[in-house]
Structure 1
């Protein structure tokens, strides 16, 4: 009796081992950055080895012996291959003793994983225990994802998938033990059963992929506490440049880094990961939303952007005085501007190389008490205002303590872009003369496949601006935003090439640099700009309670940002935003009565992009493939269950009228006869249906009654003058289903039909 029961659930044992192994591998994936690579390999080999042996048809005493031998041999192979152990002497006892010396830090992890795997396999035998086990795993992963720097939603997704599979397998096993006759009938149609299960999983996938990403309505307590803690900081510690992350150790993009977001000072080597720093930088009173522009770069090196010292600038020494008007060159003749005042109040003690403001500043006024003049350098071409320091009115001690203005006001001319005009302007109209080569600079070793990708993406664009819109959309839609890109994917030496073809994920520096260089490869002048995103404004309700705080934009180090500016001849420089989750605030002249800036992504959405869910981190091509595959399964399932309606609908279209019940009965009978022929019931061309059925009854006596009833209905539908009723048509359908079930054994697949 025990052996019979074992045979009954042997298939379940195989699936239980599979689901448990899948869940166990999620923990191996989580611990991989924490362990030595040898330890990870040992644990992986151990789990796979015992899982494979577990499903073998071997009695328990022998199975344990095989497991012990296989695991020990696996340990030896891994330790030798990885160089952790050099064998010497005979296997027993010298080599076993030598391996035992490596129990710590290698073998004991794999031994512990083995014990946990065996315990879980023996203890998780009921639905309640499996559910508790799954809930514990999912809860542990979500806590680790929330309270550490690890992103574990992919692990959660795989755990949920394995859990659903395990619960489905457990349900069928219980059904098998409780209803053996029903199981025997279900077992006779394994493909149909598997197809229905696949359809259910496909529906779940379609719902999950199709659901839009929604920002949380409420902030969880931990995030609120962290943000409050960051916001209450004194600002004494300098925000480290994001570019410095390139020198930090990267481990699959999930490493714990001390590098924090902030205004970058060194852009020579871009890349790496960083942590978001929410300490305040400044508040900006402005009637319109802007990017707070800092510096530009134009010389791309293949790793990043060269220093200012390697770029020629036409500096003009500027002393801030009562008027504060900046020397300004000719504006873009075909673009109007909106003049706005912006008051910047710094919230920390940092010394920045530039004064920030909207594009482009026309004047500046220092508002600090006791400051009457300061030295600055203005570059009219790049629209940068470099800060050199105080020049008078303060004592030396005061100047030392106040090296950067705490409050200043700028007047900025914000371009109002005539979108339809510039979108329709051809290359010859935009660039009639010789172009400025400095904004078309490309290194000699710049990969050709980047140029080819840019041409392919923009092929449908008729004008330069239309091509740039296609390029911007491509980068936003096909690459993942994350503050911790997986640098282990990178193979190319070039920063842009590595992002586009290897890493395929990153933050603003990756997207903006790629936008600039791909635009240049298409002959459109471009430059790289860094500064700050707009920041956030307080809620109107808070302003009503505390009107003294005003509606100033609050900018913190997490808002540090970079973007691209592209040159379109007489229309001037226009910002382009290729980073997902950000929208460049641009004025367009075709908007309604009072132009308003394009809405930027709220800060909550920007932060949520830094912690993307599984679907956000998956490659878009993978998501599309999964979506189409799941959709195909669901469509196939629907077509299969509606095949009769589709079949007769096709004939209705051919005839131009609905089929009568008798016509349907005749056609259904002939369809059943065709299926019987494919299952080995032969019929010659000159036989009547009655003669064929008579021979089939001799061949398979068990179907005689069904064939007789079907023949009677067929002859009545074919020859009787009486109308064929709907109930009779349903009888023909039921008889066809019966014949299908009774003759299915002729095409049964032996492997799938075994217990």
Structure 2
């Protein structure tokens, strides 16, 4: 190993390390967008340090010490507040390693701590840099890593929100240059004909032109549209469906709306995959659930109020409980169609009743206000389509402004004013400054909303920070980064409202989505994708109930507040709201229901992708077993390739003829002998090697074949004779390598 490395010029070694570092970066860069990992500069510096130590040929023990110290220092600075030279943090780290090692072997990967994850990532990078050094300077072959890099980038570009178009071009450029250098360096080591600079120049010029031409044509040539549909949404939907029915629900999915909001921060994970299609009179905010407890890092909710059960068609929402002084501007209906079955319902404000056309019941969580289909305590079905009857709530500014801390009693749970004890004092001070002079809750809410919508904050989905161990999520956004998306804005408004003494809670669901078309009766169709996953605050007003606000920059709320009214609402005649009938009966699609009295579900007509999805779900176990069996067979064949490969070669070459075949067969024999374990020593001639092989197998066959091969090399193929004259000798010898 060291002899080959010594042959490599110092300048060329540095070039190889730079190219290897650049190729490895194409693996690292997507992680900053697709994961919640932060502080990537630390890992990049570690990779650069590893290659630098290899380049200066530092002793191995020095490299191990420096890398180990760097890893410990990095983990300490990221996760521990004690002094680096104190032993307390080292003891904590050892406890983390011990505990998480047990979790690792217990297949509880989701429970691994960030400290342990970072340690594993450092170790992985250490191993990868060592392998790259070995492939570049010893084996002189980076083809496998190059192919893996291109496949990796292509997979991320296809199945995730990562745009790998530039990364693929970079990988191709770096990989081709790296392969070219290693190939000609290997040739130079095997023979003297590339040892002079002139030969290198003759090679570099056409090689550079070739690489440049490939890249220019690949980058600039027009691309035709994809012939096959994008498989990303299809595969994501299958994974999502499996995960949704599991114990973790939506947690950790690579999609816009997630259930676990305990750790907010980092890039927004979303894509253009359609979640549902809404046929409605006008665009709506689609509510899914609320959460009430802010922890300093994210949101949780206690299910203390229990659940309410409803049958299909029952009144889901009692409008009189939403607020005595709330009026309603019109009776409307909506029809929602999920692209894939979902375990929850998205609904607009002012909902009255639900009609699914199926014999489902529904359960409403009285704490989170999340509506889910229900069959039994152990069965939680999904839903594909349903209709909603609703009215549009309208509020009077005069009535909202009458709510003050002094004149109103908080009829809601006091938890909607709770804040963590660790909340920095400057957040409360900022809330007081924003609402200074405001006499009522409505003005406070409007002022805080306007403050967050101001120009000092930036809406950004990608470059979003994750709060550190001792850092508050809202404090980080308001005073440090001032950059984020809906979760940052909505959470900050709720916290500022509570700090100002106004009850508020956090809501999550979907923004209105993209308008696609309209029908003759005025019904509009909207497509809501994972990118439309959204969150916003609700403020409690004793006379009107929970009212939504919109602090996220670039978004506009749909709450209707009338400036002036003639006469007070108290003077208006209060009549109970009659059940609303939709403009047209909400009928299920024909392929979902039978016309019989039992209303049994029929299988819908399916597209090819749906048929594939259904097949995968129905045969998932057998497919997993087949894949495992296939993997075992492939592994077995790979491990025992020395046994069966000779017979494949014999079968292939038995059918061939011609003088050129002999040369190819002889080279394959050399390779097979090498894999068998009979290595050809450096500077050993072919005849010396033939003597060694014949003495090993106690034959004279190798010398006979070698003499004929030398005749081919020096005299040409015309004096060699036909391949069939030597095929039997070649077969007898190559059979021995299978022993």
Q: TM-score, normalised by structure 2?
A: 0.45
